[in-house]
């Protein structure tokens, strides 16, 4: 019975981890959008781990790409874009979905057509992106500044440059699925331990059954 009890104790302790995660991530799991990027960027701490939205109307291009790996196997990509905001300021945004990247690439072309005078307006419909606000990684900030310098966009010239990242690589459905998957592991452990303990209990209650013909 020791093996069953040991597994049960470990499983219960492990089960507390996703429960604590649910408590701390309750806004991401159960709440909708609570603020716009403009509001959240002013108070990043207050809006951390909450869903934030922004309607993208113009894009100045991709400035960085991050490849995620596990045991030397590529598991995903994150793409970083410079967004030209409606108030004329600049902000960073990251995506991972193919359709999001395709939209931003097409919007970049449409934005430069407008800048170059080929069109009288940006001929693409705006799209609202939803994500969380966070600090950029130092390497991403480096590439962000390099692209802005290349485009001669600087605060000295009157541009408002924002560094708070709107990370749109996660969704509420994906977050719920991840937490559910993690939660199932200790739950299965608890079930297995209970079944093992019941089997051991029956074995010890009827030791004579071991001598019965099968």
For residues 46-66, give the mean pLDDT: 94
Largest Cα separation within the chain, whole Å, is: 93
- Greater confidence (42 vs 177) lies with 42
pTM of the model: 0.69
Give the whole-angstrom CA distance, residue 40 versus residue 50: 9
Say yes or no to pLDDT of 182 above 90: no
Q: Please name the residues in contact with 115: beta carbons below 8 A apart, sequence gap of 6 or more.
A: none
- Distance (Å, rounded) from C-alpha 147 to C-alpha 36? 25
Q: What is the mean pLDDT of residues 139-167?
A: 95
Please provide the average confidence, as pLDDT, over all residues in the chain. 79
Helix ranges, the chain (H):
2-24, 26-30, 37-42, 98-115, 138-150, 172-205
Which residue in 151, 169, 168 sits closest to 159, CA to CA? Answer: 151
Measured N-to-C along each axis, helices 2-24 and 172-205 cross at an angle, to the nearest 10 degrees, of: 160
The C-alpha atoms of residue 24 and residue 176 are separated, in whole angstroms, by: 13
Average pLDDT over residues 24-38: 71
pLDDT score, position 76: 80
**Calculated CA dihedral for residues 17, 27, 138, 78, nearest 10 degrees:** 90
Question: In which band, very low, low, confident or very high, does the pLDDT at 67 lie, cut at 50, 70 and 90?
Answer: confident
Residues 6+ apart with CB under 8 A from 118: none
Residue 214: the pLDDT is 46
- Taking 60 as the threshold, does the pLDDT of residue 174 lie above it? no
What per-residue confidence (pLDDT) applies to 69?
73
Per-residue model confidence (pLDDT) at position 173:
52
The residue ranking higher by pLDDT, 46 or 30, is: 46
Q: How confident is the model at residue 85 (pLDDT cuts 50, 70, 90)?
A: very high
Confidence at residue 17, expressed as pLDDT on a 0 to 100 scale: 57
For the purposes of burial, counting CB atoms within 10 Å of the CB of 178, is it exposed (0-12), middle (13-18) or buried (19 or more)? Answer: middle
Tell me which of 140 and 186 has the higher pLDDT.
140
């Amino acid at each position: 019975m020791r093996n069953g009890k040991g597994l049960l104790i470990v499983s219960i302790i492990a089960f507390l981890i996703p429960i604590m995660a649910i408590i701390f991530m309750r806004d991401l799991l159960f709440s909708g959008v609570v603020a716009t990027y403009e509001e959240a960027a002013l108070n990043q701490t207050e809006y951390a781990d909450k869903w934030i939205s922004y309607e993208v109307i113009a894009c100045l291009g991709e400035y960085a790409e991050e490849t995620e790996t596990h045991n030397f196997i590529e598991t995903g990509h994150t793409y970083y874009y410079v967004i030209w905001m409606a108030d004329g300021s600049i902000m960073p945004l990251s995506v991972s979905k193919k359709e999001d990247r395709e939209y931003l690439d097409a919007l970049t072309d449409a934005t430069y057509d407008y800048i170059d005078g080929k069109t009288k307006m940006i001929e693409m419909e705006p799209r609202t992106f939803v994500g969380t606000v966070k600090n950029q990684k130092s390497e991403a900030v480096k590439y962000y500044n390099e692209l802005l310098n290349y485009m001669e966009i600087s605060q000295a010239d009157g541009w408002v440059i924002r560094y708070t990242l709107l990370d749109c690589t996660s969704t509420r459905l994906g977050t719920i699925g991840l937490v559910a998957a993690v939660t199932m592991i200790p739950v299965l452990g608890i079930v297995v331990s209970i079944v093992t303990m019941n089997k051991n209990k029956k074995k010890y209650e009827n030791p004579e059954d071991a001598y019965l013909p099968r």
